[in-house]
Chain A
Amino acid sequence: MKTLMLGNEAFARGLYEAGCKFVSSYPGTPSTEITECAAKYEEIYAEWAPNEKVAMESAYGASLAGKRSFCGMKHVGLNVAADPLFTLSYTGISAGMIIAVADDAGMHSSQNEQDSRHYAVSAKLPMLEPADSSEAIAFAKLAYEMSEKYDTPVIIKMCTRVAHSQSIIETSDRVEAEDKKYEKNIAKYVMMPGYAKLKHPIVEARIAALTEFAESTDINRIEKGEDNSIGFITGSTSYQYVKEVFGDKYPVLKLGMVNPLPVKKIKDFAAQVNEVIVIEELDDIIESHCKKIGVPCKGKELFGFVGEYSQNLIAEKMGISIPKNKKVEDAIPGRPPVMCAGCPHRGLFYTLKKNKVNVIGDIGCYTLGAVAPLSTVDSVLCMGASVSGLHGFNKLSEENAQKSVAVIGDSTFMHSGITGLVNIAYNESDSTVIILDNSITGMTGHQQNPTTGFNLKGDPCTKIDLEALCKSVGIRRVRVVDPYDLKDCDTALKEELAAKEPSVIISRRPCALLKYVKHPGPISCDKDKCIGCKSCMKIGCPAISIADGKAVVDSTLCTGCGVCSQLCPKDAPKN
């Protein structure tokens, strides 16, 4: 039956149909739904790992044990998992193993715009790149076959527009893959210099064999055109944009496999056309390859390295007129994402702002604390960097130690904050780390994590005790505050900053969007009492605005968290 399916969901369907048995991932937009959808199949064991490195190593272990396995992550997650990735290239696998990485050109939901194809090139691993949902299914199946045939993990690269677009697919039944028997083989799986030296030539030979595959596979296909003056080499969404603009006018070499790239196929294609134009988002991987093998082409000089491509961009750079449009003359104010009404982070961030502390931030919803009017985040680098960054910021500056904190969410803390905390305890900086424990992984859309007490399938499981964990690594001062209680937050912050030793404040309250959270219900503002001082506006709550000089509360948004009430000098908010 034909169905509309999201790219990520289709990918999960492909894993299912190919007999995948083990999935371990860490959530990250735009990759998250692959794992969430895979978890819905009873035949697949699926879990959230604390981070991408753990996920990849677990998937490797499952492959070693003979089960077809998978791990998925966003582009920056692959940086975390890069260590196992490079040596997995040497060990190879037992049962088929797929690694999915989802890039985010345009940075819809990411801190950088890195091109993950570089990883496939430098780790010498095969990488496939689907251009729609139907290819996501087909490529997942092909990847398992390739993985087992060539003894290698296979990377499948997604991107936002493939991951989060629905297109038409047809499903088929699951074909069980027979488990491989585990056999001890230290020359294959123990990568110390003696064995690794023997492995490197095998890796090179494998890439040569995969290049042969790239020459013959039909996922690298030539589509004939009517006019051979130009030939496009492209893949992924760029292929869709090229076809959108030109239809079948010019020949296209559509590459479904981006590493290793074919040589003969590209040369043959180039020989059929007058001019080769390479269209690929972000970096010039295909273009550089073409130039390296002596195929003259144009690419980045026309389309650039930055952001997402689109049909208009390609048309314009190719000298084709783009559609006209109209717009209103007024400046349209931006509508950036904001902390939700009732968000437990708000009270804590207000306290940080009030105390004028430096805030070394981290990755999650609370990154939004950087936006006005809270404007209380000084730095955001990568997962876990708040805790370790704070240590370096404070270690040689007592002044910093007295007025600086790290803020990190529960999931991000488990991901890679804990090692930074070990460093603070071990190397003794007077640092204050604030764990924003909202009992869920918020930004990626409510995934469970080791501190929530539930696993990916929704079953109760071991819950990491954050207080005990922090104490056990050597932090003696650990306290819990309710971020809705501004006085409590203020006292805790002042005392812990003054303390001449490491400390942890756990700001604990579940995400306001969690279904089980009961809210007191909206408050209203007593117009007779309100003096229009705008004290309640300092917290950046989307439910509060000013009309005719008085505060107005939007009852469809307000949860009744009571943070604004604590700021009102006239007691105007009422339940």
Chain B
Amino acid sequence: MKTKNIMIVGVGGQGTLLASKLLGKILLSKGYDVKVSEVHGMSQRGGSVVTYVRYGDKVYSPVIDKGEADMILSFELLEAARWLEFLAEDGVIITNTQQTNPMPVITGAAEYPADLDKKIKALGVKAECFDALSLAVEAGSSKAVNLVLLGKLSQHFDFSEEDWMNAIETSVPPKFLEINKKAFTLGKNA
């Protein structure tokens, strides 16, 4: 099979790494060759972050280039717009509609563009935009946004409920397990 490319993008501190870890775990258990690339160090601290997940029969490059992503899972709307040029022509972008102002917007040096979700759709891109934050709060914690988004992403895979739940159970600390499972389910049904 041709190598599949999934990008997970967001703001440093939003929990993008847990999402890629979970995804990597499931893909590995299904027998795929997998590569997951992360960003550490200076790129965190509230900056724009990206994780690349690639899987297939044989994966070479650890990164995804412009126009190559089959799916982009975005934790924040501005980040969805920023990384959109990495989406393949027939790719799907799933984004949280939550907006977090970057420092240039906070200081007034730049403006947060309006209606980005509509503008992305207007380009003819397959976009699934939804409020993951509200669902995370409904599940019991605003920090569970990552599991809500992963739940939404799971609609595009034919892995069983059990596969996902196993991966969650082995990646999340026990005391947050119930909230995370609930968040995943809410995302899956969104």
Residues on A facing B (Cβ under 8 Å):
2-4, 6, 29-30, 32-33, 108-110, 132, 161-162, 164-168, 237, 240-241, 243-244, 310-312, 322-340, 365, 368, 371-373, 443-445, 537, 540, 542, 544-546, 556
Interface presence of B18 (CB below 8 A): no
Interface string of B94-115 (1 = CB under 8 A from A): 0000000111111111111100
Interface residues of B in 62-108 (CB under 8 A from A): 62-63, 65-68, 78-79, 81-82, 84-89, 101-108
Contact for B106 among A167, A327, A544, CB less than 8 A: A544
Contact for A241 among B60, B103, B109, B124, CB less than 8 A: B60
- When A166-B24, A325-B89 are in contact, do A333 and B43 touch as well, CB less than 8 Å? no
**A167 B113 Cβ-Cβ under 8 A:** no
**A108 B42 Cβ-Cβ under 8 A:** yes
Besides A109-B43, A312-B68, 8 new A-B residue pairs in contact (Cβ under 8 A), listed by A number:
A109-B40, A109-B42, A166-B24, A168-B28, A328-B123, A330-B116, A335-B79, A337-B45
The 4 tightest CB contacts between A and B, nearest first, are A323-B67, A29-B41, A109-B41, A337-B45
* Chain B residues within an 8 Å CB radius of A338: 45-47, 103
Give the shortest distance, in Å, between A237 (CB) and chain B (any CB).
Answer: 7
Interface string of B1-44 (1 = CB under 8 A from A): 00000000001100000000000110010000111111111111
Give the shortest distance, in Å, between B25 (CB) and chain A (any CB).
Answer: 7
Question: Residue of B at shortest CB range from A444?
Answer: B41
**B103 A540 Cβ-Cβ under 8 A:** yes
**B103 A328 Cβ-Cβ under 8 A:** no
**A326 B45 Cβ-Cβ under 8 A:** no
**B37 A165 Cβ-Cβ under 8 A:** yes
**A340 B45 Cβ-Cβ under 8 A:** yes
Give the shortest distance, in Å, between A101 (CB) and chain B (any CB).
Answer: 16
**A164 B37 Cβ-Cβ under 8 A:** yes
- When A333-B104, A545-B106 are in contact, do A325 and B45 touch as well, CB less than 8 Å? no
* Chain B residues within an 8 Å CB radius of A333: 78, 102, 104-105, 109-112
* Chain A residues within an 8 Å CB radius of B107: 372-373, 537, 540
Give the shortest distance, in Å, between A344 (CB) and chain B (any CB).
Answer: 14
A164–B37 CA distance with the chains assembled, in angstroms: 6
A372–B109 CA distance with the chains assembled, in angstroms: 9
A237–B52 CA distance with the chains assembled, in angstroms: 15
* Chain B residues within an 8 Å CB radius of A371: 103
Question: Residue of B at shortest CB range from A108?
Answer: B43
- When A328-B120, A337-B45, A338-B45 are in contact, do A240 and B60 touch as well, CB less than 8 Å? yes
Question: Residue of A at shortest CB range from B31?
Answer: A2
- When A243-B60, A327-B84 are in contact, do A4 and B28 touch as well, CB less than 8 Å? yes
Interface presence of B125 (CB below 8 A): yes
A346–B89 CA distance with the chains assembled, in angstroms: 44
Give the shortest distance, in Å, between B73 (CB) and chain A (any CB).
Answer: 17
**B87 A326 Cβ-Cβ under 8 A:** yes
* Chain B residues within an 8 Å CB radius of A32: 40
**B40 A368 Cβ-Cβ under 8 A:** no
Contact for B84 among A29, A328, A365, CB less than 8 A: A328
* Chain A residues within an 8 Å CB radius of B105: 333, 545
Give the shortest distance, in Å, between B136 (CB) and chain A (any CB).
Answer: 11
Contact for B47 among A164, A322, A336, A556, CB less than 8 A: A336
A/B interface sample: 7 pairs, CB < 8 A: A4-B34, A244-B60, A327-B85, A333-B104, A337-B45, A444-B41, A540-B107
Interface size on B, residues (CB 8 A): 60
* Chain A residues within an 8 Å CB radius of B47: 335-338
Contact for A337 among B25, B43, B85, B142, CB less than 8 A: B43
* Chain A residues within an 8 Å CB radius of B116: 328, 330
**A537 B102 Cβ-Cβ under 8 A:** no
A328–B81 CA distance with the chains assembled, in angstroms: 7
A323–B70 CA distance with the chains assembled, in angstroms: 12
Contact for B36 among A4, A241, A310, A325, CB less than 8 A: A4
Give the shortest distance, in Å, between A55 (CB) and chain B (any CB).
Answer: 19
**B41 A167 Cβ-Cβ under 8 A:** no
* Chain A residues within an 8 Å CB radius of B62: 132, 161-162, 165, 167, 237, 240
Question: Residue of B at shortest CB range from A544?
Answer: B106
**B68 A323 Cβ-Cβ under 8 A:** yes
**A325 B87 Cβ-Cβ under 8 A:** yes
Give the shortest distance, in Å, between A103 (CB) and chain B (any CB).
Answer: 14
Question: Residue of A at shortest CB range from B116?
Answer: A328
* Chain A residues within an 8 Å CB radius of B61: 237, 240-241, 243-244, 310-311
A365–B28 CA distance with the chains assembled, in angstroms: 35
**A166 B40 Cβ-Cβ under 8 A:** no
Question: Residue of A at shortest CB range from B84?
Answer: A327
**A331 B60 Cβ-Cβ under 8 A:** no
* Chain B residues within an 8 Å CB radius of A132: 35, 62
**A167 B35 Cβ-Cβ under 8 A:** yes
Give the shortest distance, in Å, between A325 (CB) and chain B (any CB).
Answer: 4
Question: Residue of B at shortest CB range from A333?
Answer: B110
* Chain A residues within an 8 Å CB radius of B68: 311-312, 323
**A323 B42 Cβ-Cβ under 8 A:** no
Question: Residue of B at shortest CB range from A3?
Answer: B28
Give the shortest distance, in Å, between A521 (CB) and chain B (any CB).
Answer: 15
Contact for A332 among B11, B36, B81, CB less than 8 A: B81
* Chain A residues within an 8 Å CB radius of B39: 108, 164
Question: Residue of A at shortest CB range from B123?
Answer: A326
* Chain A residues within an 8 Å CB radius of B84: 325-328
Give the shortest distance, in Å, between B44 (CB) and chain A (any CB).
Answer: 7
* Chain A residues within an 8 Å CB radius of B25: 4
A244–B63 CA distance with the chains assembled, in angstroms: 10
**B45 A323 Cβ-Cβ under 8 A:** no
* Chain B residues within an 8 Å CB radius of A365: 45
- When A164-B40, A166-B35 are in contact, do A542 and B104 touch as well, CB less than 8 Å? no
Question: Residue of A at shortest CB range from B48?
Answer: A335
Interface string of B42-60 (1 = CB under 8 A from A): 1111111000000000011
Give the shortest distance, in Å, between B64 (CB) and chain A (any CB).
Answer: 9
A210–B98 CA distance with the chains assembled, in angstroms: 57
A168–B32 CA distance with the chains assembled, in angstroms: 10
A240–B82 CA distance with the chains assembled, in angstroms: 26
